[in-house]
A and B are shown apart, each in its own frame.
Chain A
Amino acid sequence: MKEAVLKYDGSFKGFLTCIFDAYDQKLKIVEIVPAGEDQVKLFSETHEIISDELKALRVLKGLKAKISSNGMTRIKWAFLSESLGIEMKLYQMIQYIFSNKKKVDTDYSHPAVLYITNIAKQVGREKHRMEAFVRFRLTKDDIYFAIIEPDFNVLPIIIKHFKSRYADQKWLIYDIKRRIGAYYDLTKTEYVSMELPEDLGISGGNLEYFDPGEIYFQKLWKEYFDSTNIKSRVNMRLHVQHVPKRYWKYLSEKSPFA
């Protein structure tokens, strides 16, 4: 049998379609790559996979019957890591799941299961960090606006949190790395894509865009942050462990502005 490389559109639906086709056509898969990443192996045949809702749903249904809901979440979250080669690791785990009669998604002694569990944990951590470190700024047109640049594609899984929390204010969280945002207009959230002006900044309150009071609240927050520190107990190692430096840019209390 010839070795197959599957190319898909990068969506979870597309990935599940790959799984469906792999079983349906009894392919011997050596690689699954999202479009845009060319790593075609020699002596293999490339299949372009077109996302198919029905196929994806059938795989999802099959999986749900064989694993716990936690296991399902882990698979989804690991997929959002976008890390190189995650598709094959997921495929290996899914093969292991389908080849067993028992539920095996908690078999941490299986290498793929453990790998996926650990990646999902990292994604979970990033999700939690975004829920913590997102800082809204009030714009002139009354929208609470925040910019993020997460390591993993966590925007789809943080929306629920912000929706239940900020039900009575309009907000927009924009992922500048992936150029997509989530906008809540008091009734529903939808994905938006837009060009952001360069002088918007991650913190600060440029009066051209933001409410005049905005900058004062950032200053008050910084004042609070400084006052609540106990100098005789300073422990910078622990501090950086909790707030890794790559997140400081979001935090107005850590990145001084004019």
Chain B
Amino acid sequence: MSGEAERITDQDLHALADGQLGEERRAAVERWLQAHPEDAARLAGWRRQTAAIQAAFGAVADEPVSERLRPRAAGWRFGRLAAIAASIALFVAGALAGWIGHGRMGDERAMDLRLADRAIAAHRVYAVEVRHPVEVAGSDEDHLVRWLSKRLDYELRVPDLSRAGYRLMGGRLLASEGGPAAQFMYEDGAGRRITVYCSRVAQRRETAFRFEQSGAIGAFYWLDGAVGYAIIGEMPRPALLTIAHMVYDQIEQ
């Protein structure tokens, strides 16, 4: 097809704007633009859009990449997807069990939720405390663990969350439904606090992670045999989940 009948389409214009137009076509499109200023103006507008998009988001590529996004870093972990899949599977399983066994699952759920509620309540009370946030300071960790383990009659471990930037401030003994419970408090460099709550539970059971939100405070909680755990903090859910995984891994080792 030769010169005068050559049709220039929008596709050509986009390709020129995006640097994807073949050399042989380029001259024809540029000729077309000289004769059609309205198309030239559209194309210029598209280029401005591209420049604006690049200006708005280009710098993201230069941000330091956090550990969880570096497959070879120590902080990398498999399992976010699997965790979501598992929680969906659990949801389905729960719904099924609810159908079949009415009630029982509901009671257990309600009991577990009370664990989360108590943990959140304790967080509310103590995380804002300036003078006496903890009973026993983290500097005396051995004593803290021995004392609380003895009171809960369960060998507790204090998770190390320094990889997430949180330092152990200490812990305290709390009263709970089934007897004593323990709260460990952590703080990051900016003074943000999270708490880890452990309590004996009446029935030995194991559950997957569950999430509970109360205002700005979020809680991941689960049951692991005789003890229930909850991780409480004011942060977006994914960040809290990362920490919950960290706690879980250390408790289970």
Are these two chains actual partners, yes or no?
A: no
B contacts, CB < 8 Å to A: none
A contacts, CB < 8 Å to B: none
